[in-house]
Structure 1
């Protein structure tokens, strides 16, 4: 497992995954607060981990949803409807969440 960053959800503190030097992430006060979001849309792109496993999607509206590979359990493809509930942020760049439940809708 390789972490890009570690974030303490309770305190908002974070460190980057480089391991050398001071943390490079913004201070907790400059980041938007983590909130629970529910999102539904159509998959524009499927994201993959280092072993080729699907571990996220980008929806056509730009929302980014990351998830554990075992959370979905079915093949994903662009054009497929997708819904999720998760914890994340909405900022100027858009919505990004870590899903705690996901529902790739099969048609």
Structure 2
């Protein structure tokens, strides 16, 4: 786990007072159980193509429950996480393995 974003690659103007930038691997991030989809996102292929081409549009907000080892995404993002895992498996490209996030304390 690395703290901070490399050389301003992510706009941090929207970070709240108790939040901080954090770069983590997809292995450190579990899917959110809040509002979890029952079916595949209808825009899955479009989202995957977009992430393949230009990466994530914004840094997901993540947190960690005190009793858990893994981080979870606070603002949805299960589709994006699944796509990142697929793209890393397909390509081996580290740009899909490490992602810039905004950590918000639990």
Alignment TM class, shorter chain as reference: under 0.3
Q: Which has the higher strand share?
A: 1
Q: As a proportion of its length, which structure holds more helix? A: 2
TM-score by length of 1: 0.26
- Which has the larger Rg? 1
